[in-house]
Amino acid sequence: MQTPESPGAARPTSRDVARAAGVSQATVSLVLGDKWRGRVSERTAGTVREAARTLGYRPNLAARNLRLGRTRTALLVVPALTNEFFARVYTGAATVAARHGFGVVLYPSPDGVGPAKDPFASARAALDGIIASSMAADALKAFHGTDLPLVMLDSDPADSGAAAHVNLDIADGMRQVAAHLLGHGHRRFLHLASAVPSWTFDVRAAALAEVLGQEAGSATGDVTVRTVRAPLDVDGARTAAERALTGPGPRPTALICDDDILAAGACKAVRRLGLRVPEDVSVTGFDDLALATAVEPELTTVRLPAERIGERGMAALLAVLAGGTPEPGDLPVTLMARDSSGPAPA
């Protein structure tokens, strides 16, 4: 017996689905094209989807795209492929895209900084739109001058070249970190900042400076913070942290790192100097990557909903393509307090 998936079986058609569901082909087209709301009942839509699943029906996207004059393809531009955060952004974007018959092409900018080159002979002909995660607007000049809508993720909302922005509440994340450490009695801070120029890192620095600056101007006025920049890799972060911890002046009791990779390097630096985390020096990260719970002690960090921002980014692009308005508001972030932070040493 042949099934719809068997090599010799005839490919099921929309007519077969309509017959199995007891509806018209027009209804099948509305349901499987996700245009049924307000036209078809939810029960009928479920019946059609179940019939299509049982028969193994797959719509002919090539023919549909010829009729629409669109490729149903989005390009996701990211700074690098080595950071799991961007893999999770892609997962979220691809999940939403698949529900609407779209594909997502993942493309890293050269060396993680840009400008990103057009990976196609003509982006206009190959794409329906672009999503850019944690990229500066001027890094996307290759795509300017086209009529392709651009959705920017985790980027400066003042950039006017985008059709929509979807951001995380990065500033609140850094405020949560600062409040957590201040609550543990810390007063001498080192900000291990990313050397990569990016809006998202600028926001972290500004939020931290604001909170600690207010604390320094309070009645006690005993808060100090020093900023040291480091490349986004463990060895570079370790070297920068070692120099800062052994430099002149009182040793900082808390290292606030722009991301978890920098924090992992900072933890190595503390241990190599014969100090303990967190008894002598507390360390915090940002992102909540997998390594945050792989290191020992586990890392206090800020969890960023990477998949959710990918989902929202793709949904925003689809809304723009449909002439609608993307969902407003920044996505909240969460402090994950773990064992790498604790009370300031006496």
Do 70-168+306-327 and 170-303 fold alike per CATH?
yes
- 8-17, 89-98, 296-305: range with lowest mean pLDDT: 8-17
CA-only gyration radius of the chain, Å: 25
Whole-number Cα distances in Å, 21 to 16, 35, 52, 62, 264: 9, 17, 9, 24, 56
Architecture of domain 14-59: Orthogonal Bundle (1.10)
For residue 124, what pLDDT band results from cuts at 50, 70 and 90? low
- Residue 120: predicted pLDDT: 54
Order the strands of the 164-166 sheet from edge to edge.
103-108, 73-78, 129-133, 150-153, 164-166
- Residue 66: predicted pLDDT: 39
- 80-89, 176-185, 292-301, 302-311: range with lowest mean pLDDT: 80-89
> For the chain, what percentages of helix, strand and coil (3-state, to nearest 5) are there?
40, 15, 40
CATH value of 70-168+306-327 in 3.30.360.10, 3.40.50.10740, 3.40.50.2300, 3.65.10.10: 3.40.50.2300
- 33-37, 59-63, 77-81: range with lowest mean pLDDT: 59-63
- Dist CA 34 CA 14 (whole Å): 15
Whole-number Cα distances in Å, 46 to 8, 23, 28, 51, 125: 29, 12, 11, 9, 35
| Inter-residue contact 124 to 146 (CB < 8 Å) | yes
- Dist CA 48 CA 53 (whole Å): 9
Give me the sign of the Cα torsion angle 48, 50, 54, 60.
positive
Instruction: Work out the percent of the chain whose per-residue pLDDT is above 70.
Output: 84
Q: What number does CATH give the domain 170-303?
A: 3.40.50.2300
Taking the CA of residue 28 as centre, how many other CA atoms within 13 Å lie in the half-sphere pointing to its CB?
21
Taking 90 as the threshold, does the pLDDT of residue 60 lie above it?
Answer: no
Q: What is the DSSP letter of 117?
A: P
For residue 68, what pLDDT band results from cuts at 50, 70 and 90? very low
Taking 50 as the threshold, does the pLDDT of residue 2 lie above it?
Answer: no
List, for residues 102-123, the tens digit of each pLDDT value.
Answer: 999 988 875 445 555 655 544 5
Taking 70 as the threshold, does the pLDDT of residue 75 lie above it?
Answer: yes
Most confident of 156-165, 194-203, 216-225, 229-238: 229-238
- Residue 135: predicted pLDDT: 79
Taking the CA of residue 9 as centre, how many other CA atoms within 13 Å lie in the half-sphere pointing to its CB?
12
Instruction: For the chain, give every domain's residue range.
Output: 14-59, 70-168+306-327, 170-303
- Residue 33: predicted pLDDT: 73
